[in-house]
Amino acid sequence: MTAPAPLAGRERPAGPGSLDVDRRDRREPSARSCRRPAEPGSLDVDHLREAFPILDQEVHGHPLVYLDNAASSQRPDVVIDAISDCYRTYYANAHRGVHTLSERSTDAYEAARGGIARFIGATGSAELIFTRGATESLNLVAQSYARPRLGPGDEVLLTEMEHHSNIVPWQLACEQTGARVRAAGVTDAGDLDLGAMAGLIGERTRVVALTHVSNALGTVNDVAAVVELVRDRSDAAVVVDGAQAVPHMEVDVSALGCDFYAFSGHKMYGPGGIGGLWGRAELLASMPPYHGGGAMITRVTFDRTEYTAPPHRFEAGTPSIAPAIGLGVAVEFLESVGLGRIERHEQELLSHTMEVLGELPWVRVLGHPAPAAGAPRAAVVSLVIDGAHPHDVATILDEQGIAIRAGHHCAQPLMERLGVPATVRASFGMYNTHEEVDRLAAGLHEVRRIFG
């Protein structure tokens, strides 16, 4: 078993010899993982798009406009190449062999862990557990951290804007222990009602779990402020669902002050089937394993088993080696483009979208009407058109080559709170363009024409 390295001074661990990726400091763009943007402050989006082979295609005779990034983003060729390179040249099971390929796979897997841990501001790579994604990460915390600490009368506090992945695992843990789930309210503008939330935090609150960014409205929650509220009023752990934040803004778990942070690789330009859970080292060390099997033990007898330390304690069985390596490269790609640039670009797309949608009186945008009108908002826009079912809208847009999502976005309690069964959701990524915003507006005009 190769122990994960501490991240002293946030230096990158040495990469495997065969994985030809640049592992320099996060401020230095990697020449291989991205064509350099033209100027420091802004993205050269046309150039950037060349890194994403899937974007260069037509759908129903129109150039693809991919606006379903909140569901899943696309992958740059460096990520695809890294996975292919792994399988073609050095793949073997990690952690188990002394032969050369196994050592190379292990090194690449652990180097990816180190890079991802540093990317989100962890103080050590042992704080980063590879999971299948945000859903598994949240289930892990619910079962391994919360379940042993919950009892009858205890409370888990959520918010009304949670994805089902941050509701159902807590309901399961509460059903198993006699605890109960409560939910902090959301205002009509789609913001977390912090005052009301404060009133719900008390000495029976064991966990407060909230999303960093709403997948349905784009609301950005002030996690640090919530952490402060919680610390003032209880000993509860703060669990953050970062699935919609990590690809779009700088995330520093240490600065946020939370206890756990979950995310998914496929939403951050990485492979599917891989994601992460960051947890405070002392909490992880106190938690029993989530799954049992190989790779998470130091000694097994029929009487008892001794477990390894985190993170491997929580990674039973053969890990998703190539996807983890691919996620490490996706993180390098994000770093090379620059989260600041990405955020600025996406905010410009959001402003443009709000502007064009503001000219369509038959379109109702949920949440803040404009980013400047209140709390920060990520580039996720949910809208409804009276008289047109969101699925019909999505179908008409698809005929014009525009990929958006229609439905409840796995946030049924939020839909209920806002009084809509479903919405049409356009969600942006680093490679979207202003021309695509105009294509969306034109597509909605076509919807209007068809529905009268």
Ligand X SMILES: Cc1ncc(COP(=O)(O)O)c(C=O)c1O
Catalytic residues: 410
Q: Min. distance of Cβ 390 from ligand X in angstroms?
A: 16
Q: Min. distance of Cβ 349 from ligand X in angstroms?
A: 19
Q: Which has the closest alpha carbon to 259: 291, 220, 286, 297?
A: 286
Q: Min. distance of Cβ 159 from ligand X in angstroms?
A: 11
Q: Which residues lie closer than 8 Å to 39 by C-beta, 6 or more apart? A: none
Q: Min. distance of Cβ 325 from ligand X in angstroms?
A: 18
Q: Min. distance of Cβ 168 from ligand X in angstroms?
A: 11
One DSSP character per residue, 280-318 reads -HHHHHTSPPSS-STTSEEEE-SS-EEEPPTTGGG--SS
Rounded distance, CA 280 to CA 398, Å?
43
Residue 68 binds ligand X (CB under 6 A): no
Question: Which of 29, 76, 115, 133 touches ligand X by CB under 6 A?
Answer: 133
Residue 211 binds ligand X (CB under 6 A): yes
Stretch that binds ligand X, among 133-141, 142-150, 363-371, 420-428 (CB under 6 A): 133-141
Nearer to ligand X, 50 or 343 (CB): 343
Nearer to ligand X, 264 or 382 (CB): 264
Q: Min. distance of Cβ 428 from ligand X in angstroms?
A: 14
Cα angle: 172, vertex 207, 239; to 5 degrees: 95
Q: Which has the closest alpha carbon to 397: 450, 449, 443, 448?
A: 443
Rounded distance, CA 311 to CA 332, Å?
21
Nearer to ligand X, 213 or 229 (CB): 213
Q: Would you give the binding string for ligand X spanning residues 334-373, x where CB under 6 A is met?
A: ----------------------------------------
Q: Which residues lie closer than 8 Å to 69 by C-beta, 6 or more apart? A: 247, 267, 427, 428, 429, 432
Nearer to ligand X, 85 or 241 (CB): 241
* First CA to last CA distance, the chain: 65
Rounded distance, CA 237 to CA 220, Å?
20
Contact 424, 443 (CB under 8 A): no
Nearer to ligand X, 104 or 425 (CB): 425
Rounded distance, CA 329 to CA 304, Å?
39
Residue 241 binds ligand X (CB under 6 A): yes
Stretch that binds ligand X, among 139-147, 163-171, 217-225, 367-375 (CB under 6 A): 163-171
Residue 264 binds ligand X (CB under 6 A): yes
Nearer to ligand X, 308 or 320 (CB): 320
Contact 275, 320 (CB under 8 A): no
Question: Which of 135, 143, 400, 432 touches ligand X by CB under 6 A?
Answer: 135
The DSSP code for 148 is G
Residues in 402-431 that interact with ligand X by CB under 6 A: 410
Residue 401 binds ligand X (CB under 6 A): no
Rounded distance, CA 398 to CA 392, Å?
10
Q: Min. distance of Cβ 138 from ligand X in angstroms?
A: 7
Contact 236, 146 (CB under 8 A): no
Question: Which of 51, 65, 134, 444 touches ligand X by CB under 6 A?
Answer: 134
Number of residues that bind ligand X (CB under 6 A): 16
Question: Which of 73, 74, 144, 165 touches ligand X by CB under 6 A?
Answer: 165
Rounded distance, CA 134 to CA 121, Å?
17
Nearer to ligand X, 264 or 308 (CB): 264
Which residues of the shown chain bind ligand X in the complex (CB under 6 A)?
70-71, 133-135, 163, 165-166, 211, 215, 241, 243-244, 264, 266, 410
